Amino acid sequence: MRVFVPKERHPEERRVAATPETVKKLVRSGFECVVESGAGTDSDLPDDAYRKVGATIDTSGTAWREADVVLKVSPPTAEEAAKSRPQTVIIGFFEPQQNVGVVSTLAKNNVTTLAMELIPRITRAQSMDALSSQASIGGYKAVVLAASRLGRYFPLLMTAAGTVPPAKVVILGAGVAGLQALATAKRLGAVVEVSDIRPAVKEQIESLGGKFIDLPEQVDAEDAGGYAKEMGEDFLQRQREILTQHLATANVVITTAQIPGKKAPMLMSRQMVEAMHPGAIIVDMAAASGGNCELTELGEEVVHNGVLILGPASLPATMAHDASLLYSRNVLALVEHMLTDGKLEIDPQDDVLSGALLTHAGAILHAPTSALVEEVSS
């Protein structure tokens, strides 16, 4: 089988879906690997590194049409979807709620797609969990980004000129990204408070040195996969009222709340931002899925009443080398899971694939995306 690794077309995407490390393993498993010239350049992985492990470097631009399997990071473009031949398998992030037309084209072309963001959070799939591997990088980089832009120290300093108090960091969401942000901010010496709608994460937050922000009438807000459930507007309003008190004294706020396959919840209103003091920084990690802050603009820097609001499109892409190393291992684990006698066996009943399959055999298998496509078409 021929595996193709294209150069990503999204302008903000610097990652690559396969590294020389994973290509070498694919070749040993019997795959013919073709890598588009320059695919790994932004991740500090030159073409020669791929050649040395047995890959062929494509400069003709025709490899996609000849591939049995395509490994990607960002969602396919409309052009890439249109040129995918029937029964090709494409693995990557698809963001289906934002790419309805692309998903429809892939289904009509009888292309099988496996969405890395839909990998179920079960024990068998831990090595394939790309959301977690990339969220961890994003949480780290969010703190580093905030520290580089904040006009003050993170740690407590006692000097001959007097004492400098530590910065206060508030993190909204204690998933993988939030916990990594907490750990990083604590290592830099900040005082950290964390809010999450799931009471079960309180122990994890406190074990990393953070303070849990209690919310009223907390309910079981965790789904079977360990992700936060979507909450009603009444609960979100009560949450905002409590958070406003904590945000008013924060130097840095990092928002991480996302719901797979849906728009990110709005946790910070304009009024909450206006309650913060000038010089404070907000890093909205959910900007690409709508943002947790009302004033966030994707890919832009917004200053409102002296508060800097950053809406990065993809923090993991800014650390492309390590992000690619981890992501490519997640993809490899998924490929190896499906590999039988040198071929990929797509079993829709498999407990891993049943969640990850977006399109297969001419149909859209992911129910929310299928409903959205029907809504758009009607």
Q: Are residues 246 and 275 in the same domain?
A: yes
Residues above pLDDT 90, as percent of the chain: 82
The overall average pLDDT reported for the chain is 93
Q: Of 287, 314, 341, which closes a domain? A: 314
- Phi, psi angles (nearest 5°) of residue 191: -90, 125
Q: Are residues 157 and 262 in the same domain?
A: yes
140 within some domain: yes
Q: What is the pLDDT of residue 234?
A: 75
Going from the C-alpha of 233 to that of each of 236, 237, 260, the distances in angstroms are: 5, 6, 18
Q: Are residues 179 and 265 in the same domain?
A: yes
For 86-116, the pLDDT digits (tens) are 999 999 999 998 899 999 999 999 999 999 9
Q: Are residues 308 and 324 in the same domain?
A: no
Nearest to 355 by CA among 79, 44, 124: 124
Pairing of strands 56-58, 32-36: parallel
The more confident residue out of 95 and 319 is 319
Q: What is the pLDDT of residue 230?
A: 56
For 150-176, the pLDDT digits (tens) are 999 999 999 999 999 999 999 999 999
Q: What is the pLDDT of residue 232?
A: 64
pLDDT of 257 above 70: yes
376 within some domain: no
Dist. CA 330–CA 133, nearest whole Å: 8
Residues above pLDDT 70, as percent of the chain: 95
Known catalytic membership, residue 126: yes
Nearest to 106 by CA among 83, 72, 122, 126: 83
Beta-carbon contacts of residue 222 (< 8 Å; ≥ 6 apart): 198, 200, 228, 229
Q: Chain-centre distance of CA 180, in angstroms? A: 13
Q: Of 291, 314, 337, which closes a domain? A: 314
Q: Which ranges constitute the DSSP H helices of 87-159?
A: 100-108, 130-149
44 within some domain: yes
Q: Are residues 224 and 252 in the same domain?
A: yes
How many domains does the chain divide into? Answer: 2
Q: Are residues 296 and 359 in the same domain?
A: no
Q: Are residues 176 and 290 in the same domain?
A: yes
Averaged pLDDT, 345-357:
94
pTM of the model: 0.91
**Active-site residue among 126, 245, 271, 354?**
126
Give the domain CATH number at 206. Answer: 3.40.50.720
**Active-site residue among 121, 187, 238, 240?**
121
Q: Are residues 95 and 139 in the same domain?
A: no
Dist. CA 21–CA 52, nearest whole Å: 11
For 30-72, the pLDDT digits (tens) are 999 999 999 999 999 999 999 999 999 999 889 999 999 999 9
128 within some domain: no
Q: What is the pLDDT of residue 220?
A: 55
Residues 121-136 as b or e (16 or more Cβ within 10 Å = b): beeebeebbbbbbbbb
Q: What is the pLDDT of residue 261?
A: 66
For 208-253, the pLDDT digits (tens) are 999 999 876 555 555 555 555 556 667 777 877 889 999 999 999 9
287 within some domain: yes
Q: Are residues 337 and 360 in the same domain?
A: yes
Q: Are residues 62 and 173 in the same domain?
A: no
Q: Are residues 51 and 158 in the same domain?
A: no
Q: Which domain holds residue 183?
A: 135-314
**Active-site residue among 58, 129, 196, 284?**
129
129 within some domain: no
330 within some domain: yes
**Active-site residue among 132, 136, 180, 239?**
132
Q: Which of 220-234, 258-272, 352-366 shows the highest mean pLDDT?
A: 352-366
Beta-carbon contacts of residue 341 (< 8 Å; ≥ 6 apart): none
Known catalytic membership, residue 129: yes
110 within some domain: yes
**Active-site residue among 68, 97, 227, 322?**
227
Q: Are residues 37 and 143 in the same domain?
A: no
